[in-house]
Chains A and B, each alone.
Chain A
Amino acid sequence: MVIKVKNLVKRYGDLIALDHLSFSIKEGEIFGLLGPNGSGKTTAINCILSLLKYDKGEIEVFGELMTPEAYHIKRDIGIVMQNVAVYNELTVYENIEYFCGLYVKDRNLKKKLVEEAMEFADLNEFRNFRPKKLSGGLLRRLNIACGIAHKPKLIILDEPTVAVDPQSRNKILEGIKELNAKGATIIYTSHYMEEVEQICSRIMIIDKGKAIATGTKEELKAMISLGEKITVESYDISEEQFARLRQLPNIVSAEYNDPLIEIKSIKGKNNLENVLEFIKRENIQFGKIYSELPTLNDVFLEITGKELRD
């Protein structure tokens, strides 16, 4: 186990930020922490890093108790914080060199690692720029490069893509996969379910400091009753016809927001077929029709009764 968290409780006064949170992360995973803003993701990370005091619980990293003085553990952790944390007075290169230097003493090795990190974050063009001159996306990339230059075994990325343009975002996600492929275990927090779905091998959904579900995305989706979401664009469905539509087998709910009919059905085969057949039978005019599998948002919605997005 790379990380083992048991019954972690953290209070801020009356507010319970983490409520008996337990999870463990295996080597080689990309572990996603998914939850809305304020759900306790960053708090959990800070507790793991021994930055925050917590009220109760145990945290082990690489099989050892994590403390502020556990330098041999810290040496193998790389962290990319939510807030960009770099020196404004140092250039891109100097920043990476500085942070890498806190982990690696050997000069030649350090140099090599810094160059690799520059390469990785694609920052070579901006080597001598001061952070103030960088755009948001570049700054995030610098922030990542500073966190991972020393080739840590465990990389924690706390919302690394907030306020990043889609192009940089894809680059960052690709990079994370690449790091994972080279052997790093990764913790990835985000409130963007698409990202988490795209790269994470295992996901924990948290809300109000509680883990509400953990598993691969398939497992998570399997937890809920919703199987398929079918949307039909139609202009002339009558009320009787709509009522009959709802009677179809497997259908959980149907809503008509002119011109879109949204049909949710439980898991099972032939759901789309049934709907199509019905439309044909009733001779209803329709524009387009499509079917979607449930997303993590649906999972979140079903468990908590609210949308994941803010």
Chain B
Amino acid sequence: MFAHIFLNRLKCLLRDKETIFWTFAFPLALALFFYLALSNIGKGDAFQGIDIAVVNDSRYQEDQYFRTALEEASKGDDRLFNLTLATGDEAKRLLDDNSIKGYIIDGTPMELVVKESGIHQSIIKSFLDNYSQTFGAVETVLKSNPQKYQEVIESLKDRKNYIKEVSGAGGKPDIVVNFFYTLIAMACMYGSFFGMRETTDIQADISPLAARINIAPVHKLKAFLSSMCAALLIHFIEMLSLLAFVRYVLNIDFGPRAGLVLLTTIIGSIAGVFFGAFVSAVVKKSEGIKIAVLIGVSMLGSFLAGMMSTDIKYTISRNAPIISWINPVNLLTDAFYSLYYLDNLYRYALNIGVLSGFTVLFSALIYLIVRRRKYASL
């Protein structure tokens, strides 16, 4: 009997193009969009120098060191600035037109004129600060050792890097991976569409088809479990394909613990399918409303877990931690991220534990609802 129901359910679900689309093709397409949109983050190739101007007055002309420094910074492929020489009025006009981010007036101290504050403006300021400060140091040195002029100037060119990055665990903290983790978490929750179908087709007060099953000489829970197995199997396979696509085609790093990544995906898939079954059993209204609830929950969950912006995830986890602990998408995302980034498995176990707890709770509630075999009304 198990095989009979299981195999037929497989057939049904596989031929349900719409559900296959939402649970498989849609996340795959989103992954591709993420890749297109995010692949550039963290790579510096977008930076092509900041447009600035310097007021070309007599002071600037005479200030040989500054001129050299500024010209040096505006040369070459990895230049910091695209420099324009201008009179004071011209510079002001260029700034008004948004042709430059700011202009510099040579003096003590250096003056920077900008229209707004922002990262580019800050970089210009930082350059000026650095120049004045280094220049100050050189002046101090030369005051006591005037003969070392040449040496000091030489050593200016030999700036050293004193910082080395060390990473936490397997992976570097990376915002981009988080987007993909959320996506996989969302796809896990989309398994709820399968779960929804399973309860719809077993609860006689929801569909006539289910009434027909209820009349057959088959134990209802057994029938339900057989078809849930079919739903889970299909969703597993979908999720594993998605995982493979993200890992091997889009080259997203999941850290060194491949086995646990697989386990997480499978637990997520189970959670999703059971969640859908639960919602479908509780919300007896039209299919449209059920779908709306499922999409709403998984999309809102994904949003709060940082699928659109990682900042939201951190804002939530800092200000309303309870929301991140009841959001299944966030739990899964964090589980993936812990595997990728953290050394110990404590946080991972915590996330997976809470998620499994929810799944067990859902299953218990589903059991309470589904075991009922006589209805007050049909």
Chain A residues proximal to chain B, CB less than 8 Å: 12, 46, 49-53, 68-69, 71-72, 74-75, 77, 79, 81-87, 89-90, 94, 98-99, 101-103, 105, 146-147
Q: Which of B16, B213, B376 contacts A53 (CB 8 A)?
A: B376
When distances are taken between beta carbons in the complex, the residues of chain A under 8 Å from B8 are 87, 90, 94, 98, 101
Q: Which of A77, A82, A85 contacts B207 (CB 8 A)?
A: A85
Are B11's CB and A94's CB within 8 A?
yes
Residue B1 CB within 8 A of the other chain: yes
- Give the CA-CA distance A181 to B211 in the complex, in Å: 28
Q: List 14 A-B contacts (CB under 8 A).
A: A46-B378, A51-B204, A52-B375, A53-B376, A68-B214, A68-B220, A68-B374, A71-B219, A81-B208, A85-B212, A90-B11, A98-B4, A99-B216, A102-B216
Q: Which of B209, B216, B219, B377 contacts A87 (CB 8 A)?
A: B209
- Give the CA-CA distance A75 to B220 in the complex, in Å: 14
Per-residue interface assignment for chain B, residues 167 to 198, with 1 indicating a CB less than 8 Å from any chain A CB and 0 otherwise: 00000000000000000000000000000000
5 smallest beta-carbon distances between A and B, as pairs:
A68-B373, A71-B217, A89-B15, A102-B216, A83-B208
Q: Which residue on chain A has the smallest CB distance to residue B377? A: A12
- Give the CA-CA distance A135 to B376 in the complex, in Å: 33
Are A74's CB and B216's CB within 8 A?
yes
CB-contacts of B5-33 with A (<8 A): 5, 8, 11-13, 15-16
- Give the CA-CA distance A52 to B214 in the complex, in Å: 11
- Give the CA-CA distance A71 to B217 in the complex, in Å: 4
Are A102's CB and B4's CB within 8 A?
yes
Residue B218 CB within 8 A of the other chain: yes
CB-contacts of B200-236 with A (<8 A): 204, 207-209, 211-220
Q: A51-B374, A89-B12 in contact; A74/B215 too (CB < 8 A)?
A: yes
When distances are taken between beta carbons in the complex, the residues of chain A under 8 Å from B204 are 51
B280 to chain A, nearest CB (A): 17
Q: Which of B1, B16, B375, B376: most chain A CB closer than 10 A?
A: B376
Q: Which of A52, A102, A105 contacts B213 (CB 8 A)?
A: A102
Q: Which residue on chain B has the smallest CB distance to residue A82? A: B208
When distances are taken between beta carbons in the complex, the residues of chain A under 8 Å from B211 are 46, 51, 81, 85
- Give the CA-CA distance A103 to B218 in the complex, in Å: 8
When distances are taken between beta carbons in the complex, the residues of chain A under 8 Å from B215 are 49, 51, 74, 77, 79
Q: Which of A68, A79, A94, A101 contacts B212 (CB 8 A)?
A: A79
Q: Which of A12, A52, A77: most chain B CB closer than 10 A?
A: A52
- Give the CA-CA distance A63 to B218 in the complex, in Å: 21
A51 to chain B, nearest CB (A): 5
B21 to chain A, nearest CB (A): 14
Q: Which residue on chain A has the smallest CB distance to residue B216? A: A102
- Give the CA-CA distance A62 to B213 in the complex, in Å: 21
When distances are taken between beta carbons in the complex, the residues of chain B under 8 Å from A53 are 374-376
When distances are taken between beta carbons in the complex, the residues of chain B under 8 Å from A81 are 208, 211-212
Q: Which residue on chain A has the smallest CB distance to residue B4? A: A101
Q: A51-B374, A52-B378, A79-B215 in contact; A87/B208 too (CB < 8 A)?
A: no
Q: Which residue on chain A has the smallest CB distance to residue B223? A: A102
Are B217's CB and A87's CB within 8 A?
no
- Give the CA-CA distance A204 to B26 in the complex, in Å: 55
Q: Which residue on chain B has the smallest CB distance to residue A73? A: B217
Q: A87-B209, A99-B212 in contact; A51/B375 too (CB < 8 A)?
A: yes
Q: Which of A68, A85, A105 contacts B209 (CB 8 A)?
A: A85
A278 to chain B, nearest CB (A): 56
- Give the CA-CA distance A51 to B16 in the complex, in Å: 28
When distances are taken between beta carbons in the complex, the residues of chain A under 8 Å from B214 are 51, 68
CB-contacts of B361-378 with A (<8 A): 373-378
